[in-house]
């Protein structure tokens, strides 16, 4: 018996809406200086962070993700029932299972949608963005909700001055849809992982290797552990390498970019990358001073900053980039279409 399969039309994907959320509570450098041996000058010099937002007790990653998702859908003017897929990039899920995407799907009322969580640390949003784009480009789905959300305060040791000064909480969501005639949307990406760097940035316990026990709790193994120098050196090198590869592959010069939106881990990393790419600072989005490192949420939050400051225009070429635990590395080139 011959079975004739109808070919699916290939199509381009675009970001059609954006929504973000940060909790109202702020922890500034003066507050931190009362908790650990640090100062505003020390933090600003090394990281460029002045304050970060933290959730109240009992608020989880899914709660922030829901707020960002609702704002995103409201800006697009569609009900959650039209969403077909929910992808949540996070390293701080509400629980190991079910997936936070399941909780978000239920809370926003995206009935009939399927979804999953994606764990790639600070590169999580970029990785999820590409997965969502490919689902749309394949013709299988037309509305994919991609969320980057992390409650980093839930896994930070506020007696460790090397890590507690860095991180904040937040969420951002984008809707991925087919590009319309004349639109370009997402153009290209380059992703890498290097597992040899796993020991440089991780949370040692809580998984199958070191399940929760009195010993892991006493050893403070359920918090983020970081070799700051190793992460810094790798991030500076790979941020430049990865962005350069994407630009060269598409015959795009840095001067043609309307906006560079990097992961917000460290102001010095961002400035070093911009300098090596030859980008003027008025095209580089930096908001780490206000939010700290929110892991999977940094890039959508920076997109919102770019829009608020009128530095992201329709049809602008935009370059996104990230380096995170794993190590994970990502870069994405797109044209802004709304």
To the nearest 10°, the Cα dihedral for 123, 127, 132, 138?
160
Catalytic residues: 122, 263, 293
- Give residue 217's pLDDT: 97
Which strand (E) or helix (H) includes residue 59? none
Query: Of 329, 325, 332, whose CA–CA distance to 92 is shortest?
Result: 325
- Non-local (6+) Cβ contacts of 108 within 8 A are 66, 69, 70, 73, 80, 83
The residues facing 334 across adjacent strands are: 186, 318
- Give residue 1's pLDDT: 47
Predicted TM-score (pTM) of the model is 0.96
Rounded Cα gap, residues 174 and 186, in angstroms: 13
Rounded Cα gap, residues 272 and 280, in angstroms: 12
The tens place of each residue's pLDDT in the chain, 338 residues long, gives: 454 544 545 799 999 999 999 999 999 999 999 999 999 999 999 999 999 999 999 999 999 999 999 999 999 999 999 999 999 999 999 999 999 999 999 999 999 999 999 999 999 999 999 999 999 999 999 999 999 999 999 999 999 999 999 999 999 999 999 999 999 999 999 999 999 999 999 999 999 999 999 999 999 999 999 999 999 999 999 999 999 999 999 999 999 999 999 999 999 999 999 999 999 999 999 999 999 999 999 999 999 999 999 999 999 999 999 999 999 999 999 999 99
Helix spans in the chain (H): 29-33, 40-46, 61-76, 100-108, 124-137, 161-164, 214-218, 228-249, 267-277, 288-291, 298-308
- Give residue 5's pLDDT: 45
Angle between helices 267-277 and 228-249 (to 10 degrees): 30
CB count in 10 Å sphere of residue 136: 24
CB count in 10 Å sphere of residue 179: 20
Rounded Cα gap, residues 208 and 222, in angstroms: 13
- Give residue 149's pLDDT: 99
Work out the angle at residue 199's Cα, subtended by the Cα atoms of residues 195 and 203, and round it to the nearest 5 degrees: 110
- Give residue 10's pLDDT: 72
- Give residue 274's pLDDT: 95
Rounded Cα gap, residues 4 and 57, in angstroms: 56
């Amino acid at each position: 018996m011959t079975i004739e399969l109808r070919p699916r039309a290939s199509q381009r994907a675009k970001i059609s809406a954006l929504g973000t959320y940060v909790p109202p509570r702020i922890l500034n450098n003066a507050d931190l200086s009362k908790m650990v041996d640090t100062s505003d000058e020390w933090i600003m010099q090394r990281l460029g962070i002045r304050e970060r937002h933290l959730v109240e007790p009992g608020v989880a990653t899914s709660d922030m993700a829901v707020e960002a998702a609702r704002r995103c859908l409201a800006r697009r003017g569609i009900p959650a029932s039209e969403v077909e897929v929910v992808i949540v990039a996070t390293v701080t899920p509400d629980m190991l299972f079910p997936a936070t995407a399941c909780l978000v799907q239920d809370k926003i009322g995206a009935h009939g949608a399927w979804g999953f969580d994606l764990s790639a640390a600070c590169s999580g949003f970029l990785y999820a963005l590409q997965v969502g784009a490919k689902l749309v480009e394949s013709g299988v789905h037309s509305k994919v909700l991609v969320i980057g959300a992390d409650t980093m305060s839930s896994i930070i040791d506020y007696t460790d001055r090397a890590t507690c000064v860095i991180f904040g909480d937040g969420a951002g969501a984008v809707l991925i849809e087919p590009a319309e005639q004349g639109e370009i949307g997402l153009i290209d990406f380059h992703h890498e992982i290097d597992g040899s760097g796993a020991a440089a940035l991780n949370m040692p316990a809580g998984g199958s290797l070191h399940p929760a026990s009195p010993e892991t709790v006493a050893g403070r193994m359920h918090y983020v552990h970081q070799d700051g120098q190793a992460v810094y050196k790798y991030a500076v090198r790979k941020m430049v390498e990865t962005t350069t590869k994407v630009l060269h592959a598409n015959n795009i010069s840095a001067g043609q970019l309307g906006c560079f939106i990097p992961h917000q881990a460290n102001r010095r990393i961002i400035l070093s990358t911009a300098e090596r790419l030859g980008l003027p600072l008025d095209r580089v989005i930096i908001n780490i001073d206000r939010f700290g490192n929110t892991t999977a949420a940094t890039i959508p939050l920076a997109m919102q900053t770019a829009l608020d400051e009128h530095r992201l225009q329709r049809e602008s070429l935009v370059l996104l980039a990230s380096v995170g635990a794993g190590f994970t590395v990502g870069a994405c080139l797109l044209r802004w279409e709304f």
